[in-house]
Amino acid sequence: MGEAALQIRNGRLVDPANGVDAPLDLFISGGRVAAIGQPPAGFTAQRVIDASGLIVCPGLVDLSARLGAIEPELAAAVAGGVTSLACPPDSKPPLDEPGLVERLVRRSATVGLARVHPIGALTEQLAGERLAEMNSLARAGCIAFSQAKRAIVDTQILLRAMQYAATFGYAVRLRPQDDFLARDGVAHDGEVASRLGLTGIPVVAESIATATALQLAAHTGVRLHLSRLSSAAAIDLVRAARDAGMRVSCDVAVHHLHLSEMDIGFFDSNARFDPPLRSASDRDALRSAVADGLAAICSDHTPVDADGKQLPFAEALPGATAVELLLPLTLLWATQSRLPLLQALARITSDAAAILGIAAGSLAVGEAADVCVFDPDESWRVTPESLRSQGKHTPYLGYELSGRVRLTLVGGKVVFEG
Partner 1 sequence: MRNPQLNANGALTHLLSIEGLPREVITHILDTASSFLKVSHREVKKVPLLRGKSVFNVFFENSTRTRTTFEIAAKRLSADVINLDVTRSSTAKGETLLDTVDNLVAMHADMFVVRHAASGAPHLIADHLRRLGREDVHVVNAGDGRHAHPTQGLLDMYTIRHYKQEFTNLVVAIVGDILHSRVARSDIHALTTLGAAEVRAVGPQTLLPTAIEKMGVRVCHDLRSAIRDCDVVIMLRLQNERMNGALLPSAREYFRCYGLTPAVLALARPDAIVMHPGPMNRGVEIDSDVADGPQAVILPQVTFGIAVRMAVMGILAGN
The residues that are catalytic are: 300
| Alpha-carbon distances, residue 238 vs 48, 215, 219, 286, 382 (angstroms) | 45, 11, 15, 12, 34
User: CB–CB of 46/5 below 8 Å?
Assistant: yes
Nearer to partner 1, 155 or 310 (CB): 310
Q: How far is the CB of 193 from partner 1 (least distance, A)?
A: 7
3-class secondary structure, 123: strand
Nearer to partner 1, 40 or 312 (CB): 312
Q: How far is the CB of 310 from partner 1 (least distance, A)?
A: 6
Nearer to partner 1, 2 or 202 (CB): 202
Helix (H), strand (E) counts: the chain: 12, 20
Q: What is the dihedral of CA 283, 287, 292, 295, to 10 degrees?
A: 70
Nearer to partner 1, 39 or 202 (CB): 202
CA 334/CA 402 separation, integer angstroms = 12
User: How many other β-carbons are positioned within 10 Å of the β-carbon of residue 159?
Assistant: 18
Nearer to partner 1, 44 or 180 (CB): 180
Nearer to partner 1, 193 or 322 (CB): 193
Q: How far is the CB of 197 from partner 1 (least distance, A)?
A: 3
Task: Tell me the one-letter amino acid at 124.
Answer: E
Nearer to partner 1, 308 or 328 (CB): 308
Proportion of the chain in helix, strand, coil states, percent, rounded to 5: 35, 25, 40
Task: Tell me the one-letter amino acid at 175.
Answer: R
Q: How far is the CB of 316 from partner 1 (least distance, A)?
A: 9
**Cis previous bond, 72, omega within 30:** no
Q: How far is the CB of 57 from partner 1 (least distance, A)?
A: 36
Give contact residues for partner 1 (rule: CB under 8 A): 189-191, 193-198, 200, 202, 265-267, 269, 307, 310-315
**Strand 82-87 vs strand 115-121: parallel, antiparallel, or unpaired?**
parallel
CA 305/CA 296 separation, integer angstroms = 28
Give 113's contacts (C-beta < 8 A, 6+ positions apart).
71, 74, 75, 77, 78, 410, 415, 416
Q: How far is the CB of 307 from partner 1 (least distance, A)?
A: 7
Closest by CA position to 352, among listed 414, 410, 405, 300 = 300
Kindly state the helix (H) or strand (E) to which residue 192 belongs, with its residue range. helix 191-196
Q: How far is the CB of 257 from partner 1 (least distance, A)?
A: 21
